[in-house]
Amino acid sequence: MLIALPLLAIPVVIYNIVILFGAGGGGGMAAADDILRQPMFSIPMASGASWNVGVGDLILFLSLILLFFELLKSTSSQKVAIVNHALSMILFVVCLVEFLLIRGFATSTFFLVVTMVMLDVLAGFIVTIISARKDLDFGGA
């Protein structure tokens, strides 16, 4: 049943921990941006420039990787996939409420995470509908 949990809940939980505990208990918008953009480490590039990587960048990177695996999971036609779609929809609603109502969540980083969760929801339902239609077409022949 663990496979039914949406993987994109991981970056959402990490973002919540970083913002709610790292910004002094849900500090303001400026505090959230500072936490997300503060460089954790720097990578020297061949051009001589250095690439500064912050917490927000790592959250987005993790989200993209997990979105890939969520899209792969959405192609499954098992019964657990429907539970996954429902939990993904609940996660999207929670993320949308946080984005709209809680200070510190109205950042570009969280908006992109919310967008990835929404794409997971849409892809899951679209793939399920298309595969169900194909099952009906083959069943009628």
pTM over 0.95: no
| Tens-digit pLDDT profile for residues 33-70 | 888 888 999 999 999 999 999 999 999 999 999 999 99
**Structure-model confidence comparison of residues 77 and 94, the more confident one:** 94
What sign results for the dihedral spanned by CA atoms 10, 16, 17, 23? positive
What sign results for the dihedral spanned by CA atoms 121, 104, 36, 111? positive
